[in-house]
Structure 1
Amino acid sequence: MNPITIYSEMTPNPRVMKFVANQLLIPSGLSLEFQSAEEAGASHLAQMLFTFPMVEGVFLTENFVSVTITENLDWNDVVTEVREYILGYIQAGNSVVDESLLKANTKEDAVSELGSDEVAENDFPVSEYDEKIKHILNEYVTPAVASDGGAVEFVSFEDGTLNLKLKGACNGCPSSRATLQNGIKGLFDQLLPAVKEIQAV
């Protein structure tokens, strides 16, 4: 087995650094974002990163961690410390996420949002375009924003408006509006003109 390596990579968001591993950190296709240690119950790594006083956000996906720090800090002053901590944590064999807690939290969140003890698929409105939109996002958008340390999540599509959630480095990035309106909107203009407007929610 190859030794574990972690390298750091700047993102378009000056407050966010991307830490990339040479192995899978969490299950493929999954992404998690936390704004506090209290939110990070399913990830001990995220909880520990929040013990650093400058950390304000943690985003986890398949093979990288994006960390957001306070505005008044320069990443050059802390990047080595954070990178070495993440590397040491993984080298020690610690799990990045607790999948049993993750499943429980996901179910509780869904039940809480619906105000019901049962979560039924038809409780969520689905447009005829939803699957097409998700395919375009997964095929073209996800790889591009992942390379910048972020993610874009489908929320809903109604009356020509596509609502997306920006995660990781995309959340709060100064260039995120340009990415939405020029990059992603331009893509949908070509592939699915039914999408008339895109907004972050």
Structure 2
Amino acid sequence: MFIETETTPNPSSLKFLPGRTVMPAGTREFASPEAAEASPLAEAIFNTGEVVNVFFGYDFVTVTAAPGSEWSALKPEVVTILLDHFVSEAPLFVGGSADGIYVPGEELGLMVEDREEDAEIISSIHELLETRVRPAVASDGGDIAYRGFSEGVVYLTLQGACAGCPSSTMTLKQGIESLLKHYVPEVTEVRAA
């Protein structure tokens, strides 16, 4: 088995591609060692002591190094952990279940309650996020979670390599906001949630 790596726009994050499915549906982010206890793989990566975030995508794992950590030392450690995990065919989650599968942002909840009268607008926003935004963000080792729509403002949370990326504000404002405003005229602004 060979694991490829790709850089991401976030210099603290690397995207690891094991050449197989990681998450059959949805994504999963682990932002602390306590959260990582749900996954033996995420927990093992956090146990290096040099990691602040682990993110599972469909066919990749994105790892964000702690400030001051050097990828030259951490990368081989993470590759070894991933190889051991996938070669042994160990379960991704505690209990071997798919308990970790979720809709992006579900664990975060809505920041604002969607109104019934905005259902058509919200449906258009979701369609654009799924078809245009999420694939682009996934290629950078992350994901995006919808957190609500109110009075023209769309609330979104960036995850994985995209969270804390130096260009995340530009991604939200110049990329996603421009796209949503173009196709959904009711959208006036996109805010990070």
Q: TM-score, normalised by structure 1?
A: 0.83
Over residues 108-153 of structure 1, what are the superposed CA-to-partner deviations in whole Å (9 max), with x where a residue is unaligned?
x97xx7xxxxxxxxx9655321111110011101111111101111
Q: Which residue of 2 aligns with 1:119?
A: none
Q: CA deviation at 1:23?
A: 1.2
Q: Is residue 180 of structure 1 aligned with residue 172 of structure 2?
A: yes
d(CA) in 1 for partners of 2:186, 2:159: 25
Q: Which residue of 2 aligns with 1:22?
A: 19
d(CA) in 1 for partners of 2:67, 2:162: 16
Identical positions, percent: 34
- How many residue pairs get aligned? The number is 184
Residue pair 1:42, 1:99 contacting (<8 A) in 2 also: no
Q: Which residue of 1 aligns with 2:54?
A: 58
Q: CA deviation at 1:189?
A: 2.3
Q: Is residue 13 of structure 1 aligned with residue 5 of structure 2?
A: no
Range that drifts further, 182-191 or 91-100: 91-100
1:67 pairs with one of 56, 60, 63 = 63
- Give the aligned residue type for 1:196: T
d(CA) in 2 for partners of 1:168, 1:24: 17
Q: Is residue 95 of structure 1 aligned with residue 91 of structure 2?
A: yes
Q: CA deviation at 1:80?
A: 1.8
Segments of 4+ moved more than 6 angstroms:
none
Residue pair 1:153, 1:167 contacting (<8 A) in 2 also: yes
Q: CA deviation at 1:175?
A: 0.2
1:101–1:167 CA distance, 2 compared to 1 (3 A): same
Q: Which residue of 2 aligns with 1:118?
A: none
- Give the aligned residue type for 1:11: T
Residue pair 1:56, 1:68 contacting (<8 A) in 2 also: yes
d(CA) in 1 for partners of 2:37, 2:114: 26
Residue pair 1:11, 1:17 contacting (<8 A) in 2 also: yes
d(CA) in 1 for partners of 2:54, 2:115: 30
Over residues 132-191 of structure 1, what are the superposed CA-to-partner deviations in whole Å (9 max), with x where a residue is unaligned?
111001110111111110111111011000000110011000000000110111111221
Q: CA deviation at 1:100?
A: 5.2
Over residues 46-100 of structure 1, what are the superposed CA-to-partner deviations in whole Å (9 max), with x where a residue is unaligned?
1111101101111111111111111112212321221122122111111123435
1:125–1:41 CA distance, 2 compared to 1 (3 A): farther
What are the within-5 Å matches in structure 2 for residues 1-201 of structure 1? 4-28=1-25, 30-97=26-93, 98-99=96-97, 101-102=99-100, 125-126=115-116, 127-128=118-119, 129-201=121-193
1:77–1:24 CA distance, 2 compared to 1 (3 A): same
Which runs of no fewer than 5 residues in structure 1 stay unpaired?
A: 114-122
Residue pair 1:6, 1:87 contacting (<8 A) in 2 also: yes
Q: CA deviation at 1:41?
A: 3.5
- Give the aligned residue type for 1:137: L
d(CA) in 1 for partners of 2:181, 2:32: 37
Q: CA deviation at 1:101?
A: 4.0
- Give the aligned residue type for 2:189: E
1:100–1:82 CA distance, 2 compared to 1 (3 A): closer
